[in-house]
Amino acid sequence: MSKEVSLEDIVSLCKRRGFIYQGSEIYGGLAGTWDYGPLGVALKRNIMNLWWKMFVDDRDDMLGVDAAILMNQKVWQASGHVDTFTDPLVECSNCKSRFRADKIDTSKCPTCGQKDTFGEPRQFNMMFKTKVGPLSDDIKLILEKGFIDKVNEEFAANNTDQKEITLSEKQLDHGGDYVSYLRPETAQGIFTNFKNVVDSFYPDVPFGIAQQGKAFRNEISPRDFVFRSREFEIMEIEYFVHPDQWQPEFEAWIKRVHEWLKALGLPDDKVHELEVPDADRAHYSQRTVDFEFDFPIGREELLGLAYRTDFDLQNIQKASGKSMEYRPKDGSAAFVPHVIEPSFGVERAIMAVLSAAYTEDEINGEKRSYLKLPTQLAPVKVAVSPLLKNKPELAAKAREVYKMLKAEFGAVMWDDNGNIGKRYRRQDEIGTPYCIVIDFDTLEGDTKDTVTVRHRDTTKQERVPIDRLIESL
Ligand code: GAP
């Protein structure tokens, strides 16, 4: 029986084998940021590519976009994020530690242990604010009427004793192009392109627009490895439906999400649906189902499915003055579409995949740990080795096989370090489904031009002719 995987098992494997490192580690790190190493980037891309294939390429009702991360701040005003994308923050009056009020027992400080040191929570906006363009710290702004309201009081206050520039009324009216936010979700890049995509493609409703990319949230307490990061990747779909059709479409998306989780190799009994109660739903949602997973840290949200109504398109319509109405080709009444939004966090998918795949067993009295990854997700598909590194005839033949497989599968690794047993363990640990060994039998006799193929999960070995290798893999 394999033991339950712990978060430490995953973190240690990721660091040791080059999946995920702490961000800026060499300078002591930066909380909530993570860097992907060679195997991590391969795993992440495999997950993201599989998602794109399943939800965009394999369907005929889906279109992709890749919008800018920096957007006009009006996007975040209209979407409600400037006002409501907040978490409740409390600070300990004794040790000054800060926490999310809804994640701790506020009667006692988790850092210093003092009782009753927290006051009332204040709402902390999680968006990273930034400035765009040449208005940097060495420039003094000549403040014109209405500027402070329009741009940012704090920015103005911090820039009073520096070089002068004059902003025209027009620039000011523009709403301050220079204040922007790192996007906290990719969804708004989809909504703001809804009209563009409809004008260019005129798809039939229902249809979806998909986007993958970075999102940034200034989390009060980043925690649990990549689970709650400050910079992470999201894959989102805004699926536009007729308002009368949102319920059946929502149910269809529940099924599709389960198909996705199956493709990730996650066991059914570790996946749970949570109907999110009214009080806990995001400001834009009228129904949300969270898909939770039994992570090593406990049962937690893996991804969300929300019915966003026409909240976003209506807000954009009001703020931009442009119509977001869709005109059906059959001449029936125009309407502002409603939206079903499945939103998938890539980091949480990676954590779920790694914890589901992490396996320990004992073969012939020897313990091993390996990643039972679905082949399509494995960072390395095949490892090729000469039995002995210092036998040129074996190495030359192995190189031939390696080149042939690399041309076919891409993610093929050359491995001639240590003895063959160690190579198998190393490849098992990173989830390589097949190891191929070129030995003396490959060079002569009845078995000439055959190789050993060793299977990760069973450790069984078989002899396969080189000219049938690609087909058999
Ligand atoms: N557009 C909808 C939206 O952003 P969300 O529930 O706030 O919804 C979607 O986020 C998904 O993004 C979550 O289900 C989770 O997988 C992931 N996610 C959210 N915050 C995260 C964080 N701080 N670190 C890693 N992943 C996060």
Q: Tens digits of per-residue pLDDT, 113-128?
A: 999 999 899 999 999 9
Does the pLDDT value for residue 2 go beyond 90?
Answer: no
Residue 381 has pLDDT above 90, yes or no: yes
User: Does the pLDDT value for residue 148 go beyond 70?
Assistant: no
303 lines ligand 1 (CB under 6 A): yes
- Alpha carbon 57 to its chain's center: 19
Cα–Cα distance measured from residue 383 to residue 453, given in angstroms and rounded to the nearest whole number? 10
Give 3-state DSSP helix, strand, coil % of the chain, rounded to 5: 35, 30, 35
- Cβ–ligand 1 contact at 236 (below 6 Å): yes
Atom 12, ligand 1: which residue's CA is nearest? 345
Q: Integer distance in angstroms from the first to the last C-alpha of the chain?
A: 29
Nearest CA among 44, 57, 320 for reference residue 196: 320
Amino acid 135: pLDDT? 57
- Position 283 scores a pLDDT of 84
Most confident of 149-163, 232-246, 277-291: 232-246
Q: For atom 11 of ligand 1, which residue has the closest CA?
A: 345
Whether the CB-CB separation of 242 and 331 falls below 8 Å is answered with no
State in Å: Cα 67 to ligand 1 middle: 18
Query: Which residue type, as a one-letter code, is found at position 362?
Result: E
348 Cα: distance to centroid of ligand 1 (angstroms): 9
Radius of gyration of the chain (CA): 27
The answer to whether 94 and 117 are in contact (CB under 8 A) is yes
For all residues of the chain together, what is the average pLDDT? Answer: 91
Using CA positions, which residue lies closest to atom 18 of ligand 1? Answer: 345
Given a cut of 60, is residue 352 above it in pLDDT? yes
Task: Tell me, in angstroms, the distance from the centre of ligand 1 to residue 221's CA.
Answer: 14
Residue 228 beta carbon below 6 angstroms from any ligand 1 atom:
yes
Range with the lowest mean pLDDT among 166-180, 198-212, 234-248, 432-446?
166-180
The answer for residues whose C-beta is within 8 angstroms of residue 91's C-beta and 6 or more apart is: 97, 98, 99, 118, 119
Q: What is the mean pLDDT of residues 10-20?
A: 96
- How far does residue 398's CA lie from ligand 1's centre (Å)? 45
Residue of 282, 260, 279, 280 lying closest to 271 (CA atoms): 260
Nearest CA to ligand 1 atom 20: 228
Q: Which atom of ligand 1 is nearest to the CA of 222?
A: 23
Note the pLDDT of residue 201: 97
Can you tell me the distance from the alpha carbon of 73 to that of 150, in angstroms, rounded to the nearest whole number?
Answer: 11
Give distance in angstroms: CA of 303 to centre of ligand 1. Answer: 7
**Minimal-distance CA residue to ligand 1 atom 6:** 304
* Ligand 1 atom, smallest distance to 302 CA: 16
Report the percent of the chain where pLDDT is more than 90. Answer: 81
42 lines ligand 1 (CB under 6 A): no
Atom of ligand 1 nearest to the CA of 301: 14
pTM above 0.85, yes or no: yes
Nearest-CA residue for atom 23 of ligand 1 = 228
Q: How confident is the model at residue 175 (pLDDT cuts 50, 70, 90)?
A: very low
Please give the distance, rounded to the nearest whole angstrom, from the Cα atom of residue 345 to the centre of ligand 1. 5
Mapped onto helix, strand or coil, the DSSP state of residue 149 is helix
Q: pLDDT band at residue 364, thresholds of 50, 70 and 90? A: confident
pLDDT at 155: 54
Nearest to 299 by CA among 342, 220, 355: 355
Residue 178 confidence (pLDDT): 72
> What separation in angstroms does the CA of 244 have from each of 208, 316, 335?
17, 21, 11
Burial pattern 100-128, b for ≥16 Cβ within 10 A else e, equals bbeebebeebeeeeeeebbeebeebbbbe
In the predicted model, what is the mean pLDDT of residues 37-66? Answer: 98
Task: State yes or no: pLDDT of 25 exceeds 90.
Answer: yes
Which alpha helices (DSSP H) does 332-391 contain, by range? Answer: 346-357
Given a cut of 80, whether residue 140 has pLDDT beyond it is no
Q: pLDDT digits over 252-309, tens only?
A: 999 999 999 999 999 999 999 999 999 999 888 999 999 999 999 999 999 999 999 9
Q: Between 38 and 283, whose confidence is greater?
A: 38
Instruction: Tell me if 345 CB under 6 Å of ligand 1.
Output: yes
Backbone angles phi, psi at 392, to 5 degrees: -55, -35
149 compared with 138, residue with greater pLDDT: 149
232 C-alpha vs ligand 1 centroid, how far in Å? 9
The percentage of residues in the chain with a pLDDT greater than 70, rounded to a whole number, is 90
pLDDT exceeds cutoff 90 at 165: no
